[in-house]
Amino acid sequence: MRRLLWPLLVLAALLAVNLFFTPSFFSVEMKEGHLYGSLIDILRFGAPLILVSLGMTLVIATGGIDLSVGSVVAISGALACLRISEDGGVLSAVVLALGLCVLLGLWNGFLVAGVGIQPIIATLILMVAGRGLAQLITDGQIITVNSPSFKVIGGGYLLTVPFGILLVLVVLGVTAFLTRRLALGVLIESVGGNAEASRLAGIRSRGIVITVYAFAALCAGVAGLMIASNVSSADGNNAGLWIELDAILAVVIGGTSLAGGRFSLGGTVLGALIIQTLTTTIYSVGVPPETTLLVKALVVAAVCLVQSPKFRDKVFRRAGPRASSRPAAEEKVRVTA
Amino acid sequence: MDVPAPVLRMSGIGKQFPGVRALDGVDLRLLPGEVHALMGENGAGKSTLIKVLTGVHPADSGTIELAGRTVSFAGPLEAQQAGISTVYQEVNLCANLSVAENIFIGREPRRRGRIDWKRMRARAAELLERLELDVDVSAPLSSYSLALQQMVAIARAIDVEARVLILDEPTSSLDAGEVRQLFRVMRRLKEEGIAILFVSHFLDQIYEISDRMTILRNGRLVGEYLTRELSQVALVAKMIGQELAELERLHGEARTFDRPLVEARELGRTGAVEPFSLTIHEGEVVGLAGLLGSGRTEIARLLFGADHATSGEVAVGGAPAALRTPRAAMARRIAFCSENRKRDGLIPDLTVRENIVLALQATRGWTRPVPRDQQDELVGRYVKALKISPANPDHLVRDLSGGNQQKVLLARWLILEPRLLILDEPTRGIDVGAKAEIQRLVAELSDGGMAVLFISAELEEVLRLSHRVGVLRDRRLVADLPNDDTLTTDTLMETIASGGRA
Looking at residue B212, what is its pLDDT? 92
Looking at residue B241, what is its pLDDT? 63
Chain A environment of B372 (Cβ under 8 Å): none
| CA dihedral sign, ordered B53, B58, B63, B64 | positive
Answer whether residue A30 is part of any domain: yes
Answer whether residue A291 is part of any domain: no
pLDDT digit string, tens, across residues A301-313: 888 787 777 787 7
- Within 299-328 of B, beta carbons closer than 8 Å to A belong to 304, 306, 326-327
A32: exposed, middle or buried (Cβ count in 10 Å: 0-12, 13-18, 19+)? exposed
| Inter-chain CB proximity A186 and B350 less than 8 Å | yes
Per-residue pLDDT at A116 exceeds 50: yes
Mean pLDDT of A125-131: 93
Judge if A177 and A307 occupy the same domain. Answer: no
Judge if A316 and A274 occupy the same domain. Answer: no
Q: How many domains does chain A have?
A: 2
Chain A environment of B405 (Cβ under 8 Å): none
How much helix, strand and coil, in percent to the nearest 5, is found in chain B? 35, 25, 40
CA distance, residue A162 to nearest chain B CA (Å): 32
Judge if A263 and A306 occupy the same domain. Answer: no
Judge if A148 and A240 occupy the same domain. Answer: yes
DSSP letter at B39? E
Mean pLDDT of A217-235: 92
Q: For residues A160 and B160, which has the higher predicted lDDT (pLDDT)?
A: A160
Judge if A214 and A312 occupy the same domain. Answer: no
Cα distance between residue B17 and residue B12, in whole Å = 17
Query: B8-240 has which fold?
Result: Rossmann fold (3.40.50)
Judge if A184 and A316 occupy the same domain. Answer: no
pLDDT digit string, tens, across residues A253-280: 888 888 888 899 999 999 999 999 988 8
- Contact (CB, 8 A) for A297 and A279: no
Please list, residue by residue across A143-169, b when 16 or more beta carbons sit within 10 angstroms of its beta carbon and e when fewer do.
bebebeebbebbbbbeeeebbbbebbe
Query: What percentage of chain A exceeds 70 in pLDDT?
Result: 93
Class of domain B261-498: alpha beta
Judge if A157 and A240 occupy the same domain. Answer: yes
Strand order in the sheet with B260-269: B273-281, B260-269, B311-316, B319-321
Per-residue pLDDT at A217 exceeds 90: yes
Judge if A259 and A304 occupy the same domain. Answer: no
Chain A environment of B76 (Cβ under 8 Å): 329, 332-333, 336-337
- Contact (CB, 8 A) for B50 and B86: yes
pLDDT digit string, tens, across residues B387-422: 887 888 898 888 887 778 888 999 999 999 999 999
Chain A environment of B371 (Cβ under 8 Å): none
Q: Which stretches of chain B drop beneath a pLDDT of 70?
A: 1-2, 18-20, 42-43, 89-91, 160, 172-173, 240-255, 292-293, 429, 499-502
Looking at residue B243, what is its pLDDT? 43
Judge if A209 and A336 occupy the same domain. Answer: no
Looking at residue B464, what is its pLDDT? 84
Q: For residues A30 and B42, which has the higher predicted lDDT (pLDDT)?
A: A30
Query: What is the maximal distance between C-alpha atoms in chain A?
Result: 70
CA distance, residue A243 to nearest chain B CA (Å): 29
| B499–chain A Cβ distance below 8 A for any pair | no
Neighbouring-strand partners of residue B213: B37, B225
Residues of A in CB contact (< 8 Å) with B are: 178, 181-184, 186-187, 189-190, 193-194, 196-204, 208, 261-262, 322, 326, 328-330, 332-337
A-B contacts at Cβ under 8 angstroms: 114
Strand runs (DSSP E) across chain A, as ranges? 29-31, 34-36, 142-144, 157-158, 161-162, 233-235
Mean pLDDT of A230-237: 86
Full domain range(s) for residue A222:
2-286
| Inter-chain CB proximity B369 and A183 less than 8 Å | yes
Mean pLDDT of A40-49: 91
Per-residue pLDDT at A48 exceeds 90: yes
Q: For residues A314 and B310, which has the higher predicted lDDT (pLDDT)?
A: B310
Chain B environment of A262 (Cβ under 8 Å): 349
Q: DSSP per residue over A11-53, as a string?
A: HHHHHHHHHHH-TTTT--EEETTEEESHHHHHHHHHHHHHHHH
Task: Please compute, for residue B275, the number of CA atoms within 13 A of its CA located in the half-sphere on the CB side.
Answer: 8
Kind plus residue range of the DSSP H or E element containing B269 = strand B260-269
Judge if A251 and A308 occupy the same domain. Answer: no
Chain A environment of B346 (Cβ under 8 Å): 194, 197
Neighbouring-strand partners of residue B311: B268
pTM of the predicted model, to two decimals? 0.73
Looking at residue B502, what is its pLDDT? 43
Q: How many helices (H) and strands (E) does chain B have?
A: 17, 22
Show me where the domains of chain B are located: 8-240, 261-498
Give Cβ neighbours of residue B293 (< 8 Å, ≥ 6 apart).
none
Looking at residue A336, what is its pLDDT? 34
Neighbouring-strand partners of residue B319: B316
Judge if A179 and A310 occupy the same domain. Answer: no
- Within 400-459 of B, beta carbons closer than 8 Å to A belong to 412
